[in-house]
Structure 1
Amino acid sequence: MNHTNLTILSVISNFCIVILKLVVGFLTGSVAVISEGIHSSMDFFASVITFFSIRIAERPADEDHPYGHGKAENIAGTIETLLIFVAGIWIIIESINKFTHPHEIKFPALGIAVMLFGALVNVIISRIINRAAEKANSVAMKSNALHLFTDVFTSLGIAASLLLVHLTGWLWLDPTIAIMTAIYIMFEAWKLLKESFPPLMDKRLSRKEEEEIKRIILAHKEEFIEFHDFRTRRAGAEEYIDFHLVVPSELTIEKGHHLCDEIEGEISRYYSKAQVLIHLEPEEERVYLRNV
């Protein structure tokens, strides 16, 4: 199943679950169920954003966007996390209101059944999307899978709280679980924000990733003198790597080009969507620049 079909599947499943949770939430009067419906509605909007962001990100480079459209995924991931923060704040406000105005929960069995059904659907869909996201190194798809996976835990927690409220009559459990749900999803959103936002500022790849790339370059150290001005960044599912490679002055253009092709090919095996730019410098130029 391709990425577009996966995101459509996510949109449809989220829409159905949102409707179920909100309807049952208002029927039962449970702020925890309603809050979970709001959480799922954020997942629905996130899936819609993911659908459009992936379609944009997959567009080839054009005259106005010579570096491609990869950052559309990072923008989408950032927007999705901000939506989760908004949902979390709303849930906390509603839960505090429920503490001051408690009321009995109706039809708890119905609420429990919907929560368990939503958890089952989301665990299946999230695993499918996450597998595809890891393969494609897609930030937008990873964030979408995370949305769905957090729904699994929050749905199970709320199902347990409804059961406890029914068995004990402790109405304060409902808003308490809702607040805990809000804190949890906001914490997960913060972790995702740290992954999706930095590439918008052209943050370098991790040290581990850069060390692996340098190891590939140095595997050819017998054929060049040194390399410098090494830079990396990520945009969506693509990595951009560029550096200057100093080679012996007697090296022919053909051999220099072949060396660059070999290095680029090996880096591409490590990062399938890597965009590698190597600037060749003859040794004489390096000496000249150093003496200027």
Structure 2
Amino acid sequence: MTNCNHSQWQPSHDYRPLEQSSEKRTWAVVVLTGLTMIAEIVSGYLFNSMALLADGWHMASHMVAIGMSAVAYAFARRHVHDRRFAFGTWKIEVLAGFASALVLVMVALLMIGESLLRFWVPARIGFNEALWVAALGLVVNLLSAWLLRDQPHQHAHHDHDHDHDHDHDQNSGKDLNRHAAFIHVLTDALTSVAAIIALLGGKYFGWGWLDPLMGIVGAIIILMWARGLLRDTTKALLDREMDDPLVQQVRERLECVPDTELVDLHLWRVGRAQYSCIFSVVTHQPYSADHYKAQLAGFAKLVHVTAEVNRCGERAQVDY
């Protein structure tokens, strides 16, 4: 057998973006959240404020979830060349986003339980001290949200032939791990705003019932955000991508080849906006697998294509 450079035929399965800004920003948010959490818990004990203590421990749960997102980035980057991951390590980040969504659900349920309890057993609140710390928490959360916001380039690359489907699938290209951390800090900001409104109402109007009511409202909004995040992450984890517009576009492109019947097609996401595709066709013509793969060359999102060509009376030709 003649010498051949096999490396040129081996596809790369690293579908994660080269930039590491999301990882660095997430770690920065972990530090900010941790410092604010310590300040709120210490202030809660010093000023005998149950509101600050509750918000501090609530922020602690978010720090754990955001820290999990940061660890997922590091783990995925460390094992990016590990061949045991068949299609790269991108789904590690998605799994972290799914776990974060579950944490959000638990936090929301705890908030509802605590709020209902406070309707019957009101807690005495040090309004002035709590207002200052709640305002500090809001500033930190807004800064954290700014750090974790969508970057302009994250949605800048699309297939020119398929821009009209961008609105159909807004999550294509989205960093679900970073998005999970972003939702966590948004929920913290929401609870800080709710706490400030409730504290002002209690201080100036004596509306003690406003505090638990705002807690329930905030928890319901958190559950709505968590539901969307669970939907997006489970879709990627379970490879439920066959309703993606790209599937129909691939089908139409292959069936445009004369005397060709598409008998099997599988498409699933292996990166934020990258897909793997396996298809099988039947034809009477002497078309090669490369011929069919060339028909899909215009789909930039397809990064790993396997083709099987079946001819009547012949064995199938498979090309990876």
TM-score interval, smaller chain: 0.7 to 0.9
Separation in 2, partners of 1:73, 1:117: 30
Of 259, 263, 268, 1:233 maps to: 268
How many pairs align?
277
The C-alpha deviation readout for 1:31-80, integer Å capped at 9, x for no partner, is: 55444333322221111111121233343353432232232223212211
Are residues 1:277 and 2:305 paired?
A: yes
Of 91, 94, 113, 1:93 maps to: 113
Of 141, 144, 159, 1:125 maps to: 144
Separation in 1, partners of 2:99, 2:148: 19
1:194-273 paired onto structure 2 within 5 Å: 194-214=231-251, 217=253, 221-222=256-257, 225-235=260-270, 237=272, 238-246=274-282, 249-251=285-287, 253=288, 256-257=289-290, 260-261=293-294, 263=296, 265-268=297-300, 271=301
1:4-23 paired onto structure 2 within 5 Å: 4-23=23-42
Conserved? CA contact 1:112–1:159, under 8 Å? yes
Separation in 2, partners of 1:206, 1:148: 31
Of 91, 95, 99, 1:71 maps to: 91
Separation in 1, partners of 2:70, 2:203: 40
Unaligned 5+ segments in structure 2 are: 1-19, 156-172
Are residues 1:178 and 2:242 paired?
A: no
Q: Match of 2:150, as an amino acid? A: R
Please tell me the root mean square deviation across aligned C-alpha atoms, in Å.
3.1
CA positional deviation for 1:123: 2.9
> Which residue is 2:7 aligned to?
none
Separation in 1, partners of 2:202, 2:315: 78
The C-alpha deviation readout for 1:255-274, integer Å capped at 9, x for no partner, is: x52652562x4322xx3xx4
Given the two structures, how large is their TM-score scaled by the length of structure 2? 0.73
Conserved? CA contact 1:225–1:246, under 8 Å? yes
Conserved? CA contact 1:31–1:98, under 8 Å? no
SS of residue matched to 1:233: strand
Separation in 1, partners of 2:196, 2:263: 57
Separation in 2, partners of 1:230, 1:61: 28
SS of residue matched to 2:150: helix
Unaligned 5+ segments in structure 1 are: none
Q: Which range moves more in the overlay, 75-84 or 60-69?
A: 60-69
Judged with a 3 Å threshold, the aligned counterparts in structure 2 of structure 1 residues 127 and 194 are, in CA distance, closer, same or farther, namely same
Separation in 1, partners of 2:261, 2:198: 63
| Higher share in helix | 1
1:19-34 paired onto structure 2 within 5 Å: 19-27=38-46, 31-34=50-53
Separation in 1, partners of 2:123, 2:202: 11
Separation in 2, partners of 1:55, 1:261: 36
Q: Which range moves more in the overlay, 173-182 or 59-68?
A: 59-68
The C-alpha deviation readout for 1:140-166, integer Å capped at 9, x for no partner, is: 111111111222222112111111110
